[in-house]
Amino acid sequence: MFVPRNLLVFLCFIVVFKSKCTESVQLVPGVECTRPCREGEPPKFCYYKFVTELYVAGGPACFVCTPNQDNMFTQNCQCITTDGFERTLFSINRMFPGPSIQVCENDRVIVDVKNEIEGNELTMHWHGIFQKGTQYYDGVPMITQCPIQQGTTFRYQMVPQPGTFFYHSHTGLQRFDGLSGHFIVRQPQHKDPNGHLYDLDLPAHVIQINGWMHQHAIEKFPGLWTRNQKQDPINLLINGRGKWINPQYGNVSDSPFEVFEVLPGRRYRFRMINALASPCGVVMSTQGHTMTVIATDGENVNPRTVEAITSYSGKSGVCGSLDCST
Ligand SMILES: *[C@@H]1O[C@H](CO)[C@@H](O)[C@H](O)[C@H]1NC(C)=O
Ligand SMILES: [Cu+2]
């Protein structure tokens, strides 16, 4: 067969180029990045696809399945329970919190955010991540990027520093209504100056606290005058779960609480995220246990044993994360 020489050269070039590309960058599904972090292990390129939608909490998917901790990383249930009160919300991959990003130091995190929320634009902010050299992926609308329009996708890429962080929408009041999730960056335990204070640092032991309303936050700002006043959340959720006491009848919703499993005699690292969108303080305590605070806002601190932890999302917009072993 006759093949023009130029074409042959061109074909060779494509083959060489392609193999080089696939060699240097191999994206792995984000869930594969949730692993114990070992010194000297090559970093991974952790890929996540987020699809944001207007969705329903307590909707028909909840007749089919109940979310549990296996649903933390992937969209395999699509039932969002919140506090048992049916309402619409913004979801990521029909999850709230969104998919749990949990990686190791030096990993590269790649997130494609596809906005499918009708008539809304958005950006995603990776709270606490320094973005050194990737400032344009900080997710601040009209400062570091144009917002993601409905039906379009924006790719964020970063190499985050170790610590307990979270992500949330940085547009309007969307983060009140479900657009947030864990962002945990582990390092080999021996590199943590407080690493001797805990035995286990498990992916399931993340406590994300959100304030919750029974309507979209935009209905509360500027607020109503004759009924349903105030802008405080009426409930708190842990990892999107909680219960609600109906003030009219005093009965309680049958939605599940978040459950963390521990064994007696072991020391666990818990990673707490105050993801409130409003400036209310949250006091967290563990019945019958003390906690030792070992890090806050992504920085290790001198350990301190406490009965309770008060954290603020903060008027200043500074949200908190705390690590403790208990
Ligand atoms: C409480 O009782 C009322 C009236 O029977 C009912 O409408 C409601 O769904 C019940 N549960 C909650 C959590 O309000
Ligand atoms: Cu933030």
User: For position 232, what pLDDT does the model report?
Assistant: 87
**Span 266-270, average pLDDT:** 95
CA 188 to each of CA 21, 106, 244, 262, 316: distance values in angstroms, whole numbers, following the listed order: 29, 11, 40, 22, 33
Please give the domain boundaries of the chain with CATH numbers for all domains: 35-187 (2.60.40.420), 208-323 (2.60.40.420)
Looking at all shown ligands, the one closest to residue 165's CA atom is: 2
> Best substitution site from 81, 245, 249 to test ligand 1's pocket, by max atoms within 8 Å of Cβ?
249
User: For position 303, what pLDDT does the model report?
Assistant: 94
The Å distance, Cα 246 to ligand 1 centre, comes to: 7
**Residues 19, 26: Cα–Cα separation, whole Å:** 11
Band of residue 5 on the pLDDT scale cut at 50, 70, 90: low
Looking at every residue in the chain, the average pLDDT score rounds to 88
**DSSP of 259-289:** -----TT--BEEEEEE--SSS-EEEEE-TT-
- Residue, of 315 and 326, whose pLDDT is higher: 326
**Residues 84, 251: Cα–Cα separation, whole Å:** 12
Over residues 168-208, the pLDDT tens digits come to: 999 999 999 999 999 999 999 999 999 999 999 999 999 99
Over residues 97-134, the pLDDT tens digits come to: 999 999 999 999 999 999 999 999 999 999 999 999 99
Ligand 1, atom 13, lies closest to the CA of: 253
Looking at all shown ligands, the one closest to residue 85's CA atom is: 1
Of 14-18, 50-54, 249-253, least confident by mean pLDDT is 14-18
Helix-strand-coil split of the chain, %, nearest 5? 15, 35, 50
Q: Position of tokens 């993601």?
A: 148
**Span 293-322, average pLDDT:** 75
Classify residue 35 as exposed, middle or buried by CB count within 10 Å of its CB (0-12, 13-18, 19+): middle
